């Protein structure tokens, strides 16, 4: 198991009576910057319009002259880069081992169920809400219960959406 130890990441930042971990503040700022840049890229650029059009209807996007394969390739490469950045940020506070991503994957599934696919603002709000729920459950029941709280949220979300993640599409899958 490995942990990236850096004195800057473990330093404290004092704002009056509040003491913040400088590393966590830097990671939060980096994450907000990446989300903001992603939002700008998807909503304000030609590439973003092409990606959104391709995700809605690839055949119609191709008829409009959008290179669907290029949109898929660049989106895949962007996702690959974001995964690497997430891993680097994750490694600043967690041990790196083969099962290290399970907790993040569980959180990503919960966020996707709550916010929906492709809704950056909703994902940001759901992420903040999930962070608050994790912090409250860790403070109330102990830090080892954070993952259990997220798993229970996943179960509750799936039970609340008993029709599945896309209940309106059930007929489309079967050709009805």
Distance CA 131, CA 129 (A): 5
pLDDT at 25 over 60: yes
Read off the DSSP letter of residue 169: G
pLDDT in tens, 95-125: 888 888 787 888 888 888 888 777 778 888 8
Helix ranges (DSSP H) in the chain? 7-10, 22-44, 46-56, 58-63, 68-90, 102-115, 120-141, 146-160, 170-173
pLDDT at 19 over 70: yes
Instruction: Give me the mean pLDDT over the 27-48 stretch.
Output: 91
Query: Residue holding tokens 């696919």?
Result: 117
Query: Residue holding tokens 């506070």?
Result: 93
pLDDT at 38 over 80: yes
Paired residues of 12 in beta bridges: 21
Task: State whether the Cα torsion 24-25-28-33 is positive or negative.
Answer: negative
* First CA to last CA distance, the chain: 51
Task: pLDDT band for 78, please (50, 70, 90 cuts).
Answer: very high
- Does the reported pTM lie above 0.85? no
Task: pLDDT band for 61, please (50, 70, 90 cuts).
Answer: very high
pLDDT at 75 over 50: yes
pLDDT at 166 over 70: no
The predicted structure's pLDDT at residue 48 = 94
34, 35, 75, 85, 150 from 81: Cα distances, Å: 11, 13, 10, 6, 26
pLDDT at 145 over 60: yes
The mean pLDDT of the chain is 83
The predicted structure's pLDDT at residue 164 = 52
Contacts of 64-72 with CB under 8 Å at 24 or more apart are 71/47
């Amino acid at each position: 198991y490995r942990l990236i130890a850096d004195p800057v990441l473990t330093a404290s930042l004092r704002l009056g009576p509040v003491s913040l971990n400088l590393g966590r503040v830097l990671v939060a700022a980096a994450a907000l910057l990446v989300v903001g840049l992603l939002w700008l890229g998807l909503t304000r650029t030609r590439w973003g319009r092409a990606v959104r059009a391709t995700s809605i209807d690839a055949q119609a996007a191709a008829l409009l002259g959008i290179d669907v394969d290029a949109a898929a390739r660049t989106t895949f490469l962007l996702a690959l880069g974001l995964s690497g950045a997430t891993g680097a940020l994750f490694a600043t506070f967690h041990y790196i081992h083969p099962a290290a991503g399970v907790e993040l994957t569980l959180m990503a599934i919960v966020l996707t169920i709550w916010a929906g696919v492709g809704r950056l603002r909703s994902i940001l709000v759901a992420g903040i809400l999930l962070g608050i729920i994790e912090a409250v459950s860790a403070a109330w029941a102990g830090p080892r219960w954070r993952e259990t709280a997220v798993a229970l949220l996943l179960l509750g979300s799936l039970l609340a959406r008993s029709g599945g993640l896309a209940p309106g599409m059930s007929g489309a899958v079967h050709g009805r």
